[in-house]
Amino acid sequence: MKTPFLLFLFIVGTEYVGMGNYVPLFRALPIALGISALLFLYILSKNSISEAYQYRQLKYFSLFIFLTALALFHGLIQSYAIDPLKQQIGYLVLLLVGFYIMDEFRKIALFAMFFVSMHIYLVVINFHMFQQTVRAGFFKAGYFLGDGNDFAWSLNVALPMALFLAIYFKKTLFKVAALGAFLVILIGIIGTQSRGATLALSAGLLYMWLMVSKKKVLGLVYMAIIFGVVAFLAPQGYFQRMETIKSYEEDSSAMGRLMAWGHATEMALDHPLLGVGAGSFNSAYGRFYRKPGDPVRWVSTHSVYFKILGEYGFGGLFVYLMIIFHTLSLNRKTRRLIEEAPGKISVPVLWPEYLNMSTIGFSVAAMFLSGVNYPHLYILVALSMATARIVSREMEQQKDSNSANEGDVSSERPVMEFR
């Protein structure tokens, strides 16, 4: 499956790099979506879709997309649900393609290398953005990475993969390259001066210390070194901006978030089952929830969770949280299975924990950004499911091998006794 795997990488690359910035044809035609659909049909011809739907997070993803489709009938502005629905279906197809195509750990490792390399490229071509004293401008990347906060969000997903590769590689040269990649991505995160991304980075490193590091004191030393690097490389104004986390009452951006979160909560209380409909938050805000003194302009929820709360209701928020919960849970379960067969599974025992580190970083940053329909979570779920599938298959093969060996021994015993 070399060609399908390369096509899968191509699709992910076109999304994150923003191929339309380079090739106008990609802006005019849904080429990546077309390739993804063809790959999906090819995979379905060789696999059963029921295998993928054994995983709970995929069931919750499908339910979430169904709730988006319902907004075509009940939403405040029903047509506003069309774009979210198309994006979610497209990324669900990408998730399924990745799940079936990454059928051995070698491919997962290659994907991690590709994903990290892609983010290094994005940091390098946007490096001039980190030199600015004022946080403004548009990052050259996929549509969901144009804002500095969104850009740093994606970097937080890639960072643990770079750290994993530094451990995974055997040759010193590759280890050094992976550590260099980690450093470049880290520079990108702090260069955006994103407060949400900094909190996500801290949460990911804390998870690494608690769940990955066996030597806690040494883990603290590593974390101190990382934060020392952050302090050394942080651009002018970085720490002043981080200080505003404590004095949020004086920060207009933070107060705008709190205002939007309050309105999203009001929407959910008024429409607890289905919310105001996918894509309809701003219309509902402007028509029914805006108070005197609130901004007249378009308002962003600046939170995945509050956006879902307002647009999907309490049920939709529960469904989305279950996707994250079951992804974290699956990775923990996968690690335990690997530990039960030391040295007999191709997947490194700590890889699921690094996936969880990425998921934690994604989830914390999502508290402050409103990209419900971004591909990050779909890719993390695909990696988690594919990893679990590989481990499960290799465990079954191990059991079959052991059973066969036991059968051979038992069949020989009567002969030996007879003799």
Euclidean distance between CA atoms 323 and 346, whole angstroms: 26
One digit per residue, the tens of pLDDT, for the chain of length 419 reads 588 999 999 999 999 998 877 777 676 567 778 888 899 999 999 999 999 999 999 999 999 999 999 999 999 999 999 999 999 999 999 999 999 999 999 999 999 999 999 999 999 999 888 766 555 568 889 989 988 899 999 999 999 999 999 999 999 999 999 999 999 999 899 888 888 888 999 899 899 888 887 777 777 777 778 777 776 666 666 656 666 555 544 455 667 788 889 999 999 999 999 999 999 999 999 889 888 877 766 678 889 999 999 999 999 999 999 999 999 999 999 999 999 988 889 999 999 999 999 999 999 999 999 999 999 999 999 999 999 999 999 999 888 777 766 665 444 444 333 22
- C-alpha 190/C-alpha 61 separation (Å) is 32
- Are residues 123 and 103 in contact, defined by beta-carbon separation less than 8 angstroms? no
In angstroms, the CA 254 to CA 38 distance is 44
**CB 207 within 8 Å of CB 356:** yes
Instruction: Report the 10 Å Cβ neighbour count for 158.
Output: 27
Residue given tokens 């002018």 in the structure block: 236
Q: How far is CA 261 from CA 179, 199, 300, 301, in A?
A: 38, 19, 9, 6
C-beta of residue 139 within 8 angstroms of C-beta of residue 145: yes
**In the chain, what are the domain boundaries?**
51-400
d(CA 192, CA 127): 10
pTM of the model: 0.91
10 Å CB burial of residue 348 (0-12, 13-18, 19+) is middle
Q: Are 143 and 87 in contact (CB under 8 A)?
A: no
Average pLDDT over all residues of the chain: 87
400: left (phi over 0), alpha (psi -120 to 50) or beta: alpha
Cα separation of 360 and 371, whole Å? Answer: 16
Distance CA 176, CA 158 (A): 17
DSSP class of residue 272 equals T
pLDDT digits (tens, 9 = 90+) for 355-366: 999 999 999 999
Please give the Cα distance from 393 to 44 (Å, whole number). 19
Q: Say how far apart CA 366 and CA 363 lie, in whole Å.
A: 5
- pLDDT for residue 1: 55
Helices (H), ranges, 102-147 = 105-125
Kindly state the greatest CA–CA separation across the chain: 98
What residue type is 256 in one-letter code?
A: G
